[in-house]
Amino acid sequence: MSSPPDSGPDPGGFSALVGNVLTLAAALLIAALALEGYVRLVADDGMQFDLEMWKYAQALKRPAVDPLAGHEHIPQSSAHLMGVDVAINGFGYRDDLQTLDKPGDVRRVLMLGDSLTFGWGVAQEDTPSELLQALLNQANDGWRYEVVNMGIGNANTDMQVRAMDLAGWQFDPDVIVLNYFINDAEPTPERAGGLLSEFSYAYVYFGGRLDTLRRQAGNVPDWRAYYSGLYRDNAKGWQTAVEAMRRLSSEAEGRDVPLVIANYPELHALAPYPFDGINQALATVVMDLRRDFVDLTPAVAGEIPENLWVHPQDAHPNAVANGKFAAALAPVIMGHFEN
């Protein structure tokens, strides 16, 4: 009786390996879907900072025409973010401006800035621009004042000035306010690629919590060290911000348009304020440019920081803080119209 042909290694072992791999892959997929479902249906209460900022980028932003400007808002877009409705007008800004035309009885103020100017976490009527506009119009001096909110989240000073170069001058401003925050010396951000970063709530949510744990463990700098590091040893981002201020100041001078540079305080700690040295460095730059410098830190002196936040886990300024900032800015801006 002949023996069966040699079939080589036992195919059953390979089949078992493939089965185990597929079982593991299926288990991982189910776990990933479960985590995604948990974040979308349970953890996402509409007030998770990391998730809301991610939704903002997904729903309201696109790459700018000029790559050096980073990103811009999508005109006529809207979303519900951090508990408030956000609507972007046809020009790509968060305000009600409908036309470029400036009537003869209108004075127009342009507000450049980041998420603080944009009004993250507050209703449109509680943004610094809207509150400032209301205060200016209380003058009843025969003029109507329009304050254009060109603020965009995650935009550094260089990006803001490039956005001004691209589109801001078309509004024929009478005064420009460059609203500066301590993180405006960061490098221009790049939008993360990949399916997870584009579509996964769980990836964003747990990534943010991992980052928090790393900070608590001392593996990455805390907020004080991080902000201070942006200005250490003539850091490149800070130098880029200074050069952008110089460009804007020169262009404004050539067009005979007043420029005001306002410094917004970091609201985690106010007494003592940990960044007085950075405030002074900015003030020195602005004085060298011979422009008005408005330090808004005194406007909230003596306040309990948490009472000025939009959320217990988000230190962006709330309506109360923005009201104090607008009140400090208004007389400086009116002074340019009275001269």
Alpha-carbon gap, residue 159 to 67, rounded angstroms: 9
The whole-number pLDDT of residue 7 equals 52
Tell me the residue range of the domain where 75 lies: 48-338
Select from 62, 146, 134 the least CA-distant residue to 108: 146
How deeply is 304 buried, as exposed, middle or buried, from its count of CB atoms within 10 A (0-12, 13-18, 19+)?
exposed
Separation of first and last alpha carbons in the chain: 116
Is 57:228 a contact under the CB 8 Å cutoff? no
Count of the separate structural domains present in the chain? 2
Is residue 262 classed as helix, strand or coil in its secondary structure? strand
Is the per-residue pLDDT at 76 higher than 70? Answer: yes
Residue 8 lies in a domain: no
pLDDT class of 19 with cuts at 50, 70, 90: confident
pLDDT class of 17 with cuts at 50, 70, 90: confident
Write the pLDDT tens digit of every residue in 148-162: 999 999 999 999 999
Q: Are residues 21 and 166 in the same domain?
A: no
pLDDT class of 191 with cuts at 50, 70, 90: low
- Give the Å distances, CA to CA, from 42 to 39, 48, 203, 206, 264: 6, 12, 15, 13, 35
Is the per-residue pLDDT at 97 higher than 60? Answer: yes
Q: Are residues 150 and 209 in the same domain?
A: yes
Q: Are residues 280 and 305 in the same domain?
A: yes
pLDDT class of 192 with cuts at 50, 70, 90: low
Q: Are residues 58 and 105 in the same domain?
A: yes
Q: Are residues 170 and 24 in the same domain?
A: no
Write the pLDDT tens digit of every residue in 248-294: 999 999 999 999 999 999 999 999 999 999 999 999 999 999 999 99
pLDDT class of 3 with cuts at 50, 70, 90: low
Residue 1 lies in a domain: no
CB atoms within 10 A of CB 302: 7
Is residue 289 classed as helix, strand or coil in its secondary structure? coil
Residue 6 lies in a domain: no
Q: Cα–Cα–Cα angle for 72, 76, 82, nearest 5°?
A: 70
Residue 71 lies in a domain: yes
* Percentage of residues in the chain having pLDDT higher than 70: 95
Alpha-carbon Rg of the chain, whole angstroms?
Answer: 25
For residues 307-314, average pLDDT: 97
Q: Which residues of 161-190 are buried (b: 16+ CB within 10 A; e: fewer)?
A: bbbbbebbeebebbbbbbbbbbbbbbebee
